[in-house]
Structure 1
Amino acid sequence: MQRRVLIISPNFPPMNAADHQRIRMSLPYFNEFRWEPVVLCINPNFVEGVVDPNLDLTVPLNIEIIKCNAIPQQISRKFLIGNLALRAMPYLMRAVSKYLEKNTIDLIYFSTTIFPVMVLGRYWLKRYNIPYVLDFQDPWLNDYYDRTNSPPPGGKVKYQISQSLAKTLEPFALKKASHIISVSPEYSKILMQRYAWLDQEKFTILPFGAPEKDFEILPRLNINHKIFDPNDGYKHWVYVGRGGDDMAFSIKSLFMAIQAHRHQVPEAWQNIKIHFVGTKYSIFDNKKEIESIAKFYELDDLVTEYPQRIPYFEALKVLTDSHGILIIGSDDQGYSASKIYPCILAHKPILAILHEQSLVVNVLQNCKAGQIVKFNRTESSTESINELDLVIAKIEWLLSQSQNYTSHTDWQAFQSYTAREMTRQQCAIFNRCISS
């Protein structure tokens, strides 16, 4: 029997956001596991972000998509409100109510980092008796920045307001959820410590799936990017993803090792360029903190930072055009980076600097997909990477890789991380929620 799931993913394609990655990867496979998906999102005209129209090509044509409006940001910002959830909440409520007047839904699935919309699960459960599942891709109520005295993305005022809301809204949304999916075991651990009425049976740890189909269509799109010219005679190393103070330790460790090696073997660095792409959350933030760190280590001639996000398929093209990929990890051991899979699928040499508890370490080790430097630093510890020589050795390995590099990834092991496998596990959760 085919069941129907309503997926709440406000900034679904064509917006370039990891926020909808799990859903976009899963859509081609839901029917195989006897679930028919319906996606509720917000009209892209009301969402701030980088648009990539090519993302529409990855969505199966038979998927039903409901688009609703929101309060225009030009109006809301006059009242100092930019939050998409607050701007869209009444429109989302109205769209679902209108849809359910004529259609049947068995389950509602919130897959988004726009957390306040999750409270609508309680509303729809009470009004329509439809169970709901929450997907925690990041922490909602998050004390990381308070514990570490790090400046939060968007500034302290915005952070304090969002966290004040979360203290009320998070337990309200969680209380009646049928199940909670989390990309990291740390998130479920924190939530169970915070709310005594939650137990392990409520949680499933489920990483994102790998975007194999995106790499299948990438050559047909004839994508160009402006980050570098892969044929200019230089070897280009790239990091594509966010920055932040929680990644400063990894970045400084990398730069310190490069500086030491460069002093020893300066000729090895004459044709190396390192690019950090899409390091900022906000489209209004153009600060280049990573370039400033590079300058401190006398590497400003090697390192270039591009703060603004670029369209998704351009980012994939940057990876496939590169001669080496860097994966920079957070000192927050719960951080689980979805960008690991595109890095592996790019078939390039990978050097990763990661917290030893990060799930990304397991992926790279299981698939034999790259070189890893692990650290165990926490906010209350001064421990760091044991030996600078270890980082230097991994950098020497990356320097030694030719432009004709052949990946040694164990692709059979990689199958357990594919989008199809992750969708199978999602649907198994849905089945249990319906049965109970």
Structure 2
Amino acid sequence: MKKILIITPHYPPSNLAAVHRSRLFAQHLPLFGWKPVLLTVHEDYYEEELDWNLHKLLPSDQQIEKTAAYKVTKPRIVGDIGLRAFFQLRKRALELVQKEKIDFVYIPIPSFYVSLIGPYLHRKTGVKYGIDYIDPWVHVFPGSDQLFSRHWFSTKLAKWLEPKAVKNAALITGVAEGYYQGVIERNPHLKQRCVFGAMPYGGEAADHAGLKQLNLKPYLFEANNKLQFVYAGAMLPKAYAPLEEIFKTVSANKELFADVEFHFIGTGKTPNDPQGYNIKPIAERYGLWQSVVFEYPKRIPYLDVLIHLEAADAVFILGSTEPHYTPSKTYQGVLSKKPILAVLHSASTAVDVLRKSGAGLVLAFNGEEGLDQVPTGFVSLFNQFRAFQQNFNANAIDQTAFELYSAKSVTAVLARLLDAVHGN
């Protein structure tokens, strides 16, 4: 079996969303001839709360190597764990490549700085490496144009470091093509020497099956006689404009939504701040707070999220004015066996998948120019959804529409890319 070293500073029991990328790849890669070796940072150095139930989902025979890191100082100067553990990870990675006879090194980012270990290992040992873009690295933030601001420095540093990280990469992947398209444009030489591929996050049915064994219960809200929706996960930066149009519409049609609750989970400014509200100010502006709209800003454990999805009557999915929203994110809703109400950019591939599968109803709008379509469309969609929800049969969903987005199928794509690189 070929060996792949996955360098991922966060790994279960870390509760950060990105750990599922490495977790599910590592779980299924052996089926396709690749044995994973995980290199991570010891959980004693994590800042976030730990999720030991998530840790229980890991295969018992998985090889996990852990390093130390520099602790966070007070005041907090360096928080990024990729920086705090950079030299420890680099040293251990070199030892593993040499000792374990590693065939390929795979580095999901962020943390972006860890990607610089790839060229170091390649230079020292000749091992091929790849970088997986969970988020774009070179990214213009609001405020990036303000000289000497934090975002200005971050953008400048990213533009300087990324070419060094990708220079000799054999594989560049991402959650979607748009995540690494800019990398190709900024580094055109990669077209001749590098393999590219996109794999969305995959859904894992076994995670839902494991809930019964853990006997977890929902605790953020209680069932009542209202139609309860759950939106789970961080808010996309450009999702606030359509959300405001939706809240404005709900406020103007309060009778229609009098028996409805929208519960937003894990949508806060930072993962661990229970007071870091993002949704609450908008809901208050339209008189919906604590009557129709509820927010729980702090990120809760992954399996707790699944329990709340299953406790809800329906799942609410919100895209943004950008089309970067894939069907994999709707897959958790399908696996929870709940009907889905979605508002998405018309160019999102999730639109057709939801409609063809029968998993939910979608309001599709044309980006920023199409925001004026949302108010009228949402009222019409919601009236249709009431009947859809009452007659919903989870067993009637066309699961074939989601086969491409299962964790196993997504990992199969990665394995084919790895085989192509390994054969070169």
Same fold (TM over 0.5): yes
Q: Distance in 2 between matches of 1:362 and 1:10?
A: 36
Query: Residue in 1 aligned with 2:182?
Result: 190
Shift of 1:189: 2.6
Q: Residue type of the partner of 2:421? A: C
Pick aligned residue for 2:75 from 69, 78, 97 = 78
Query: Residue in 2 aligned with 1:309?
Result: 299
Equivalent residues, number: 419
TM-score, L = length of structure 2: 0.92
- The change in CA–CA distance for 1:85 and 1:105 in structure 2 (over 3 A counts) is same
Pick aligned residue for 2:161 from 160, 165, 169 = 169
Q: Does the 8 Å CA contact 2:331/2:402 hold for their aligned counterparts?
A: no
Q: Aligned ranges for residues 30-45 of structure 1 at < 5 Å?
A: 30-45=29-44
Q: Does the 8 Å CA contact 1:374/1:385 hold for their aligned counterparts?
A: no
Instruction: Tell which deviates more after alignment, 415-424 or 365-374.
Output: 365-374
2:265 corresponds to 1:277: yes
Shift of 1:174: 1.3
Query: Deviation digits for residues 138-158 of structure 1, max 9, x if unmatched?
Result: 1111125369x9x9xxxx954
- The change in CA–CA distance for 1:160 and 1:45 in structure 2 (over 3 A counts) is farther
2:392 corresponds to 1:393: no
Query: Residue in 2 aligned with 1:367?
Result: 357
TM-score, L = length of structure 1: 0.89
Shift of 1:361: 2.7
Q: Does the 8 Å CA contact 1:8/1:112 hold for their aligned counterparts?
A: no
Shift of 1:167: 1.1
- The change in CA–CA distance for 1:171 and 1:107 in structure 2 (over 3 A counts) is same
Q: Percent identity?
A: 29
Query: Residue in 1 aligned with 2:230?
Result: 238
Q: Which runs of 5+ in 1 are unaligned?
A: none
Query: Deviation digits for residues 190-235 of structure 1, max 9, x if unmatched?
Result: 22223332339632121121111101111221112321112x3332
Query: Deviation digits for residues 276-332 of structure 1, max 9, x if unmatched?
Result: 110125224723231211122221221111111001100011111001111111223
Pick aligned residue for 1:292 from 281, 299, 316 = 281
Q: Distance in 2 between matches of 1:368 and 1:213?
A: 22
Query: Residue in 1 aligned with 2:248?
Result: 256
CA RMSD of superposed structures (Å): 2.4
Query: Residue in 2 aligned with 1:29?
Result: 28
Q: Which runs of 5+ in 2 are unaligned?
A: none
Shift of 1:270: 3.5
Shift of 1:341: 1.8
Query: Residue in 2 aligned with 1:97?
Result: 94
2:116 corresponds to 1:112: no
Query: Residue in 2 aligned with 1:429?
Result: 417
Query: Deviation digits for residues 2-52 of structure 1, max 9, x if unmatched?
Result: 100001111111111221212212233212211111001111111122321
Q: Distance in 1 between matches of 2:312 and 2:333?
A: 10
Q: Residue type of the partner of 2:211? A: L
- The change in CA–CA distance for 1:281 and 1:336 in structure 2 (over 3 A counts) is farther
Q: Residue type of the partner of 1:399? A: R
Moved over 6 A (4+): none
Q: Does the 8 Å CA contact 1:10/1:112 hold for their aligned counterparts?
A: no
